[in-house]
């Protein structure tokens, strides 16, 4: 007698219900909402703090200590909520929230681009099969086990100086990112193509486009959502890594990775570990939040994704 | 055995094809660079005929295909730029010649490779050992403290970027506790002890991050394996627990672990490049980044192709080990 009720609940609603019961997924969701809000409202928050990330405050530095900030916790005060940057005295709160905005924007755009491209290529490879599938699968394998970071750094040389670096970052991360999603979606779609309802749609003469968009895609939205959510922390980390290496977002645009890179010298000597603390915590929380949410979404949709197969 | 021999030959052939296709693609992409490297070499004032001379000397006046072919030839037979007294020779295997640094790219790479390789190989050994042993222990003591602890380590490993963990390790172990050196590289030939002592922190940092996935995989695979019928049979026949786990259980775990390791090789190189920057060691990453900044195309192409070849070769070895361990692979 319970069956009639259970059938009426859509898989999506069931999944949402499961996320709500999962404590670490809930924590992840709260963190993600918070991070996105902060990133979206970053310019407003900076205005509210009465600071900006570009103005030098040399009077707040202590020349006796190699121009580390004066005062405790890296110069935290009612004006500078996270203290100031050593050497320049720029407001660290503005740098961190605007840096977070840069990171999240790039990661989310890359996730959208790779999801669309990867889904289309993955589904079509599974649907059409044959040599197209064979070639696509070789390309996935190839891009997957590739020294991606080396290529991302190297590509910087063929880009003209005037080309916006943030756009380059999005392009480079997308070029190397779509393959892992396409590969997983292809494997999922392959099992669907053999199902009777797809066979039925084909036998009544539906076009390939119709079968892909109307029959296959709706059944693959769950896996796509899961893989995309799980991929976001990877892109946040990759963007930060490239900026850390000095080939990402150029100064003076705030960037978490570059701030962390700048902090190395201050960490070695112990002069101002707070310069690492604030951007570091922001990056860690961003990656952790999306990872927890991604794990929760995966468990909720009960998608089995094996990296090895 | 002939099956295995054919398998190895097939794989060798496949790897060679991939290398060829990749090097061609890379050459075409980097040939499209808008900045003219000859412009930097010709000095000021750069008259048109001097520029032409420089282009001719650097063999940039040839077509992309021609340049690619001489690059390929250089790998096997070496190359000579220019002629007469001013000629520059680059011995085989020649991965190009850096005119700004006035040295063959192969020499530049071999100078820096020990640093990156030391970090990568040491970290890989440590993470495989850590990952498999913690995974086995977690599987045998499901739900106990150590199991939960290793799941926790796995989560932290997944969510911390390697450079962040590296800086934290420097701050805590290097600066506050003053236990380990915070930066610098000591060549192995100079002092093996100092070499290892300077590398311990980078190894641990990379291992903790990567071991996470291996702990999870070993744990789930081991649990699955120990529930199989043949394990019950072995136990029924009186095999000791350690024998069951080590000879029977581990064998089933090794194949998926090796497959995963093959997929992680690219990430291993990337991790090593990030880590060497954190610990201020001048390895391959440093060579590549400064070459990009100085528009030194020869070095960029050389390092890129060299690292891609390295990964393809390492993948080949992983594939062959896989084939030896699991006969189904080499038969198929």
pLDDT at B44 over 70: no
Angle at B165 between CA B159 and CA B169, to 5 degrees: 150
CB contact under 8 A, B291 and A145: no
Contacts of A247 in chain B (CB under 8 A): 289, 292
Residue of B193, B204, B211, B55 lying closest to B127 (CA atoms): B211
Residue of B178, B175, B167 lying closest to B202 (CA atoms): B167
CB contact under 8 A, B182 and A158: no
- In angstroms, the CA A226 to CA B4 distance is 39
CB contact under 8 A, A246 and B289: yes
Of A142, A147, A260, the CB nearest to B167: A260
- In angstroms, the CA B43 to CA B323 distance is 55
Question: CB contact, 8 Å: A287 with chain B?
Answer: yes
pLDDT at B208 over 90: no
Q: Which residue of B has its CA nearest to A242?
A: B274
Tally Cβ neighbours within 10 Å of residue B44: 5
Q: Are B58 and B50 in contact (CB under 8 A)?
A: no
pTM summary value: 0.84
Contacts of B174 in chain A (CB under 8 A): 268
pLDDT at A273 over 70: yes
- In angstroms, the CA A247 to CA A257 distance is 10
pLDDT at A12 over 90: no
B85-142: per-residue pLDDT in tens? 677 788 878 888 888 888 888 899 999 999 999 999 999 999 899 888 888 888 887 7
B218-236: per-residue pLDDT in tens? 888 888 887 777 777 877 8
A240-254: per-residue pLDDT in tens? 999 998 888 888 888
pLDDT at A107 over 90: yes
CB contact under 8 A, B270 and A148: yes
**Residue A104 — very low, low, confident or very high, per pLDDT cuts 50/70/90?**
very high
CB contact under 8 A, A267 and B167: yes
User: Could you give the percent of chain A with pLDDT greater than 90?
Assistant: 16
pLDDT (mean) for B303-310: 88
CB contact under 8 A, B217 and A308: yes
**Residue A113 — very low, low, confident or very high, per pLDDT cuts 50/70/90?**
very high
**Residue B329 — very low, low, confident or very high, per pLDDT cuts 50/70/90?**
low
CB contact under 8 A, B292 and A240: no
Query: Distance, in angstroms, between B266 CA and closest chain A CA?
Result: 4
Res A2: pLDDT: 45
Query: Cβ contacts of residue B314 below 8 Å, gap of 6+?
Result: B262, B265
Query: Distance, in angstroms, between B28 CA and closest chain A CA?
Result: 11
Res B58: pLDDT: 75
Helix axis angle for B297-325 and B2-31, nearest 10°, is 160
**Residue A140 — very low, low, confident or very high, per pLDDT cuts 50/70/90?**
confident
Q: Interface pTM (ipTM) of the complex?
A: 0.81
Of A145, A153, A270, the CB nearest to B315: A145
Res A206: pLDDT: 77
Q: Which residue of B has its CA nearest to A232?
A: B159
Q: Which residue of B has its CA nearest to A143?
A: B266
DSSP collapsed to 3 states, B312-329: HHHHHHHHHHHHHHCHHH
For chain B, the average pLDDT equals 81
DSSP H or E run through A62: strand A61-62
Query: Distance, in angstroms, between B37 CA and closest chain A CA?
Result: 11
Query: Distance, in angstroms, between B273 CA and closest chain A CA?
Result: 8
Contacts of A147 in chain B (CB under 8 A): 266, 269-270, 307-308, 310-311
Q: Identify from B21, B171, B301, B329 which residue to disrupt to test chain A contact, counting A C-beta atoms within 10 A and taking the largest count.
A: B171
B47-59: per-residue pLDDT in tens? 777 777 777 777 7
> Among the ranges A65-69, A104-108, B202-206, which has the highest mean pLDDT value?
A104-108
CB contact under 8 A, B311 and A146: yes
Residue B90 φ then ψ, to 5°: -125, 110
Question: CB contact, 8 Å: B265 with chain A?
Answer: yes
CB contact under 8 A, A308 and B311: no
CB contact under 8 A, A154 and B155: no
Helix axis angle for A42-49 and A23-40, nearest 10°, is 70
Tally Cβ neighbours within 10 Å of residue B93: 14
Res A3: pLDDT: 47
Q: Which residue of B has its CA nearest to A256?
A: B164
A172-199: per-residue pLDDT in tens? 899 888 888 898 888 888 888 878 887 7
């Amino acid at each position: 007698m319970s069956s009639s009720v259970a059938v009426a609940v859509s898989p999506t609603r069931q999944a949402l219900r499961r996320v709500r019961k999962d404590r670490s997924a809930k924590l992840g969701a709260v963190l993600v909402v918070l991070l996105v809000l902060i990133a979206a409202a970053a310019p407003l928050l900076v205005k509210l703090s009465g600071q900006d990330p570009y103005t030098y405050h040399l009077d707040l530095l202590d020349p006796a200590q190699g121009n580390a900030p004066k005062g405790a916790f890296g110069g935290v005060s009612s004006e500078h909520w996270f203290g100031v940057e050593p050497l320049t005295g720029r407001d660290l709160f503005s740098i961190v929230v605007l840096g977070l905005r840069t990171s999240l924007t790039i990661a989310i755009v890359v996730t959208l681009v790779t999801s669309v491209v990867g889904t289309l290529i993955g589904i079509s490879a599974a649907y059409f099969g044959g040599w197209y599938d064979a070639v696509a699968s070789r390309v996935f394998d190839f891009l997957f086990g590739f020294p991606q970071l080396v290529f991302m750094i190297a590509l910087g040389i063929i880009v003209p100086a005037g080309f916006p670096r943030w756009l380059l970052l999005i392009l480079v991360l997308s070029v190397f990112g779509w393959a892992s999603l396409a590969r997983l979606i292809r494997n999922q779609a392959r099992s669907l193509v053999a199902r009777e309802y797809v066979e039925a749609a084909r036998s009544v003469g539906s076009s390939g486009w119709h079968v892909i968009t109307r029959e296959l895609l709706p059944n693959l939205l769950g896996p796509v959502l899961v893989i995309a959510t799980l991929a976001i922390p990877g892109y946040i980390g990759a963007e930060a890594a490239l900026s850390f290496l000095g080939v990402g977002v150029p100064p003076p645009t705030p960037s978490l990775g570059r701030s962390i890179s700048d902090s190395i010298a201050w960490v070695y000597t112990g002069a101002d570990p707070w310069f690492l603390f604030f951007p570091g915590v922001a990056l860690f929380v961003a990656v952790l939040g999306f990872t927890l949410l991604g794990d929760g979404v995966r468990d909720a949709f009960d998608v089995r994704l094996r990296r090895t197969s | 055995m002939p099956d295995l021999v054919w398998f190895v030959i097939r794989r060798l052939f496949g790897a060679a094809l991939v290398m060829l296709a990749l090097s061609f693609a890379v050459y075409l992409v980097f040939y499209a660079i808008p900045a003219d490297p000859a412009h930097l070499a010709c000095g000021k004032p750069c008259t048109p005929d001097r520029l032409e001379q420089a282009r001719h000397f650097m063999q940039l006046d040839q077509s992309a295909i021609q340049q690619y072919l001489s690059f390929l030839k250089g790998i096997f037979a070496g190359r000579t730029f220019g002629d007469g007294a001013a000629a520059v020779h680059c011995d085989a295997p020649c991965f190009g010649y850096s005119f700004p640094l006035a040295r063959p790219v192969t020499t530049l790479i071999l100078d820096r490779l020990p640093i990156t390789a030391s970090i990568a190989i040491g970290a890989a050994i440590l993470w495989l050992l850590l990952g498999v042993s913690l995974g086995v222990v977690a599987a045998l003591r499901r739900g106990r403290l150590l199991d939960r602890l290793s799941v926790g380590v796995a989560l932290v490993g997944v969510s911390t970027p390697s450079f962040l963990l590296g800086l934290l390790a420097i701050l805590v172990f290097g600066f506050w506790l003053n236990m380990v050196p915070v930066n610098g590289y000591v060549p192995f030939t100079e002092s093996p002890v100092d070499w290892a002592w300077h590398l311990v922190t980078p190894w641990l940092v990379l291992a903790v991050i990567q071991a996470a996935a291996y702990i999870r995989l070993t744990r789930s695979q081991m649990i699955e394996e120990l529930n199989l019928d043949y394990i019950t049979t072995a136990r029924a026949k009186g095999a000791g627990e350690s024998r069951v786990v080590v000879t029977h259980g581990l064998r089933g775990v090794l194949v998926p672990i090796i497959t995963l390791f093959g997929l992680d090789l690219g990430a291993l190189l990337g991790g090593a490049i990030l880590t060497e920057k954190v610990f201020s060691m001048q390895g391959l990453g440093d060579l590549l980044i400064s070459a990009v900044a100085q528009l030194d195309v020869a070095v960029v192409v050389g390092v890129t192709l060299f690292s891609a070849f390295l990964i393809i070769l390492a993948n080949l070895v992983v594939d062959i080990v896989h084939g030896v361990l699991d006969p189904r692979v080499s038969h198929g």
